Amino acid sequence: GAVVSQHPSRVICKSGTSVKIECRSLDFQATTMFWYRQFPKQSLMLMATSNEGSKATYEQGVEKDKFLINHASLTLSTLTVTSAHPEDSSFYICSARVEDRENQPQHFGDGTRLSIL
Amino acid sequence: GQNIDQPTEMTATEGAIVQINCTYQTSGFNGLFWYQQHAGEAPTFLSYNVLDGLEEKGRFSSFLSRSKGYSYLLLKELQMKDSASYLCAALDSNYQLIWGAGTKLIIKP
């Protein structure tokens, strides 16, 4: 069964809207969660590493003020795409490791398909 | 720089065997993952190798050669539902996951 739950699965909204995506770990605590973006026919691109109780670590080229990450509890991380524009349309996926050891596999949420009109 | 290479696309026949290769160049190495991703869905974990050799899991097996910077995913008795992209990802010395672009596998009847 699923170990990571992501919501919503699909969002369609107007340009300028802010969109919040939730990622929850089910039945385990995740001090670290990961946020990825994937454009059609391309591989996963890590956007940021979300750390419980502290600031997220963003990858080079990812705007911190544009993609706000909050990891307020051990089971929930949120990604807010602020003032979204059509170029932000993409497939956003979160992941977590059931055991917080770095050589453990990441388990992914079902992803959120974001379409900005 | 760090790099993962895998073929863009492969085609195989239902019931057959297919091998998807992956070569990696990373600063340090802490293991290699294979994930399966169906179109429009998130990736699912298939295997992890950190030692040389073959790991078998049912119809899927994964092989690693650290000295050659090489891995492959072997799929036996192919089924139509195996049509998907297969992502290779290596963990570098900082435990950063370096992702390949994925291999799209097309299964024909």
Structure confidence by residue, pLDDT tens digits, B27-84: 999 999 999 999 989 999 999 999 999 999 999 999 999 999 999 999 999 999 999 9
Among B residues 38-97, those touching chain A with beta carbons less than 8 Å apart? 40-45, 48, 50, 87, 91, 95, 97
pLDDT tens digits for A6-31? 999 999 999 999 999 999 999 888 88
Q: Are A109 and A18 in contact (CB under 8 A)?
A: no
Tell me, what's the pLDDT at A64? 94
pLDDT greater than 90 at residue A60: yes
Name the most confidently modeled range: A26-30, A43-47, B6-10, B93-97: B6-10
Tell me, what's the pLDDT at A100? 75
State how far the Cα of B82 lies from the Cα of B14, in Å rounded to an integer.
9
Tell me, what's the pLDDT at A45? 94
Tokens of B10: 């492969």
Alpha-carbon gap: B96 to the closest alpha carbon of chain A (Å): 9
Residue A22 contacts B where some CB pair is shorter than 8 Å: no
The answer to whether the CB atoms of B48 and A42 lie below 8 A apart is: no
State how far the Cα of A74 lies from the Cα of A90, in Å rounded to an integer.
26
Tell me whether strands B70-75 and B60-65 are parallel, antiparallel or unpaired. antiparallel
